[in-house]
Amino acid sequence: MNSSNDRWVIVSGAGGALGSVITDHYANLGHQVLALDRHFDPARPIIKKITARTLDLLLEQEVRQTLADALKGAGISLLVNAVGLICNEPVLTMRGAKFTTHSIATWRQAIDANLTAPFVVATEVAALMARRGGGAIVNFSSIASEGNAGQAAYSAAKAGIEGLTRAMAAELGPLDVRVNAVALGFIDVATTKAAVAEAKLQQYAAQTPLGRLGHTDDVIGAIEFLAANRFVNGVTVKVDGGIRL
């Protein structure tokens, strides 16, 4: 994707460990980048070319207004829809002699963060892309989309993302808006380390045929491929080193 001053890159979840790396990557390539999230680390410097906006990505009117105010009619090359939240909770947990069931509050939080917020951002951005010369959307899924024990809500949300990606790709392709996804394995970033114990991460690295966790460059490479290839639409690319849970 060539640098352009009048077609923006948008990153949702840009305040997160992976989203911030992606945001900086495209800004360093010379793109104007609109970074969207609920929260940004105040200690993190915002480099030139990045416009950061704090908002609730579940609120479509707030997303719509933020896009209008920041872009001021400019076109959009790419949306990297990286908003999400790793969620671990079993369907049933034994507490003493009784089973405790999965919290509905946790379920809603996982679905909101990993499916509803990406849907809101993708639909609002797609509407602008369709009016302003097309563009590419890359959603974030996970290898948990195939169903991972202990991650019922997260798995359901990520499976939903892959279905949403295929549906949007079929609908928006005639408008020159391509929609694809990356299904991430275990990536070596702070959020992964916060959600998975170090010993378990080392076990997953050993299970991976490549013998390591993923790097942020591995993720960026997949995004760049999906952004650049104009005949790839409606696919989910696994970026997982070949691991199978």
The residues that are catalytic are 154
Contact 157, 116 (CB under 8 A): no
CB 129 within 8 A of CB 170: no
The span from the CA of 230 to the CA of 208, in Å, is 31
Distances (CA, A) of 217 to 104, 132, 179, 203, 212: 36, 30, 21, 22, 14
The number of beta carbons lying within 10 Å of the beta carbon of residue 162 is: 19
> According to DSSP H, which parts of the chain are helical?
17-28, 60-71, 104-111, 117-131, 152-172, 190-195, 198-207, 216-228
Q: Side chain identity at 29, as an amino acid letter?
A: L
Q: State the burial class of residue 227 (Cβ atoms within 10 Å of its Cβ: 0-12, 13-18, 19+).
A: buried
Which among 12, 13, 15, 17 is positioned nearest to 188, based on CA atoms?
Answer: 17
Helix axis angle, 60-71 relative to 117-131, nearest 10°?
A: 40
Token couple for 188 = 């070596």
